[in-house]
Structure 1
Amino acid sequence: MFTAHTAETAPPESHAAIRAVAGPSGSVPDAVRRLAESPELLNGFLAMSASFEGCTLDPVAREVVIMTVAARNDCHICVAMHTGKLRALGAPTGLITALREQQSLPDSDLEAIRNFTLRVLATAGGVDDATLEAFLAHGYTRRNALEVVFGIGTYTMSTLANRLVRAT
């Protein structure tokens, strides 16, 4: 139902994003090709994702947020892509498996961010003080709490859009 666009067939406002994602290899993920139907969504997601990558959470903690959202939203392409990213970061297999299976994580600090992410989702951001304090007790900051919200927003958009367009 949704076209897997190329830089030539996508709306003109998506051309630059497709070319940037392709880079020297010329390979464009199916999700990007399909999301190109909406330049606003594609360009918005890419900008938000780049901004999230620059936040103060460490790379594995960011991936915990992303994988928690992706697994919860049953976005198979997102889970597969971010499994690869976690492997590239050297994350332990047990951590990756637990995230994919929506199970408790073996690392207590990463489990704290996973739990906080789930509570933010479950309460639409209305977490109680005890939940926030439990998150902060693991060395995270109030800034990190807001970064989790940012990651949830970014990757909720991505997972829902990827499912809608049937990205593979």
Structure 2
Amino acid sequence: MSTFNVPTKNEVSENNQAIFNQLEKGLGFVPNLYASFAHSETALGNFLAFGNAITSFSAKEKEVINLAVSQVNECVYCLSAHTAIGKMNGFTEDEILELRTGEASFDSKLDALAKFARSVAINRGAATQESIENFYNAGYTKGSLADAILLIGEITITNYFHRTTEVPVDFPVAQTLEIVTA
């Protein structure tokens, strides 16, 4: 059990209180993971600025990356959050479970993206040549590769933050999925 508490709005700085207000307006609540970043005067704002940056990927493509990487990093918080977000972006429960394995048999372009994201995460940045070639062959560009690495970094930050802090999951908890790796 974590001793890392989730601060309330009254326990954070004025700057972070303003961010909490924005999150409440946009999301309807402040997710525990975001609230926990507010222990720092700057971490929450910096993370949200990074996370809200413009990317060449669609919302669905971003969720492909988030799900594949969060599964590799075994982050129950992010798997739960991105399962909910993935459903909001049109993925079915079965598609989400498949994306978590780093595959998407239902869409060849998303399949290449899922495999690439999983390869980067598993190999700590050293994606396999096959996953890179498949990524390009699916129509992604060198610019897409740069954007994908940034998105992988973004989700890895939240994966690591949750794995370290173990703040309570405030989304419906994602189904456990055991993946055999070679």
TM-score by length of 1: 0.86
Provide Cα deviations, 1:105-135, integer angstroms capped at 9, x if missing partner: 2222111111111222344434465542221
Quick one: structure 1 residues 128 and 98, their matched pair in 2 at CA, closer, same or farther if it must change by over 3 Å? closer
User: 1:91 maps to which residue?
Assistant: 91
**Is residue 82 of structure 2 the alignment partner of residue 82 of structure 1?**
yes
Identity within the alignment, %: 24
- Given that 1:14 and 1:39 are in contact with CA atoms closer than 8 Å, whether structure 2 keeps it comes out as yes
- Give the residue type in structure 2 aligned to 1:132: I
Q: Which has the higher helix share?
A: 1
What is the alpha-carbon distance in structure 2 between the residues aligned to residue 92 and residue 123 of structure 1?
28
What is the alpha-carbon distance in structure 1 between the residues aligned to residue 20 and residue 7 of structure 2?
9
1:130-141 mapped onto 2 (5 Å cutoff) = 130-141=130-141
| Paired residue total | 165
What is the alpha-carbon distance in structure 2 between the residues aligned to residue 115 and residue 25 of structure 1?
30
SS in 2 for 1:8: helix
SS in 2 for 1:27: coil
- Give the residue type in structure 1 aligned to 2:159: T
- Give the residue type in structure 2 aligned to 1:48: F
What is the alpha-carbon distance in structure 2 between the residues aligned to residue 127 and residue 83 of structure 1?
24
Quick one: structure 1 residues 28 and 118, their matched pair in 2 at CA, closer, same or farther if it must change by over 3 Å? same
